[in-house]
Amino acid sequence: MKNLFWIFIVCAVIFVSCKKDQVPELSHHNKLYKEFYHRAADQVRIFYYNSDNTLKKYEYQFDQGISERHEYFYKNKQLTQIENYSWNGLVKDLILTQIFKLNYIGNGQIEIEQIMGDLAHGSVHGSSTTMYGRKLVLYFDVNGNLVSCNVFSDSMEIITKYKFEHDSKGNIISEEKKDFFNDQIETFYKEYKYDNNINPKYKLEDIFDFSNYYSPNNCIEEIEKNEAGEILSTINRVLEINNDYLPINFTAYSNYKYSGSSQIRREYVYY
């Protein structure tokens, strides 16, 4: 699950050129600068941009040090590679642990090759015996909306399939996820509701947080169900909005069928 989570932290600006934004484009002045985690005062993500407003990198600061760094590389304003660096406790500096290579193959498709290393043995530049990879294929419609995503294992077998539906503004309102394991299929569904304000993480940072990355407005309610229709989780978000129609903080109230309830807070600071 940890590896699949890191798949979800891939990119920043993969499909910007394929769809015209349906909310005002953020100037550099209004770009997200810092995201504070309120479970601990010293946890913060810091975002850095290129002169053309594309994401250059973001870092995760914890205990007064940088524990993660994610760097983004472009060609002709298209994202082509992401490099993820992590601290493993064995060396002083961050080490390269993952590389994502993007291939724009046309017909509304993007292939992402993921190369992962073994933290226990070093970086992806170490022994080939500690490396493995996966591939993901994203499919978009003629309007640039993400309609499906297939995740392949290192043996090129499909392990997960996603399908999406959108509202008239381009927000993802439903998600179907099928997991394939040992000739068994598990299906999960998510439903989303949104406000009318600007999502500061629209096409920023985490492409596989699908509803957040590909939806121009802020998600205020999320419900997950299994194939039998049982509610597995609900998340409700309460946001405080500034004069630029951007959230400056929010509180998420979560309830999970098997693990109870939780509450998280975030605070946003802009350039």
Model confidence, pTM = 0.82
CA-to-CA separations, 62 to 66, 96, 142, 257, in angstroms, rounded: 6, 18, 42, 30
The b-or-e profile of 132-142 (16+ CB within 10 A means b, else e) is ebbbbbbbbee
Is the pLDDT assigned to residue 6 strictly greater than 70?
no
Contact 184, 151 (CB under 8 A): no
Residue 222 in any domain: the answer is no
Q: Which residues are paired to 138 by β-bridges?
A: 110, 149
If one counts the domains in the chain, the total is 1
Residue 231 in any domain: the answer is no
**The token pair that represents 240 in the structure block:** 């405080």
pLDDT tens across 105-145, in order?
Answer: 988 999 999 888 754 455 554 444 445 578 999 999 999 99
pLDDT tens across 73-104, in order?
Answer: 999 989 999 999 988 766 668 889 899 999 99
**The token pair that represents 198 in the structure block:** 């600007």
Confidence of residue 205 (pLDDT cuts 50, 70, 90): confident
Question: Would you list the DSSP string of 106-131?
Answer: ETTEEEEEEEE--TTT--TTS-GGG-
Residue 106 in any domain: the answer is yes
Residue 32 in any domain: the answer is yes
Residue 243 in any domain: the answer is no
**Domain range spanning residue 23?**
2-215
Mean pLDDT of all residues in the chain?
Answer: 85
Residue 195 in any domain: the answer is yes
Contact 1, 108 (CB under 8 A): no
Distance CA 231, CA 254 (A): 12
Residue 188 in any domain: the answer is yes
Residue 227 in any domain: the answer is no
Distance CA 12, CA 72 (A): 7
Residue 246 Rama label (left phi>0; alpha psi -120 to 50; beta): beta
Pairing between β-strand 95-106 and β-strand 146-152 as defined by DSSP bridges = unpaired
The domain that holds 166 is classified in CATH as 2.40.128.720
Is the pLDDT assigned to residue 232 strictly greater than 60?
yes
Task: Collapse the DSSP code of 172 into the 3-class scheme (helix H, G, I; strand E, B; otherwise coil) and give the result.
Answer: strand
pLDDT tens across 151-201, in order?
Answer: 998 888 999 999 999 999 999 999 999 999 988 999 999 999 999 999 999
Distance CA 191, CA 86 (A): 33
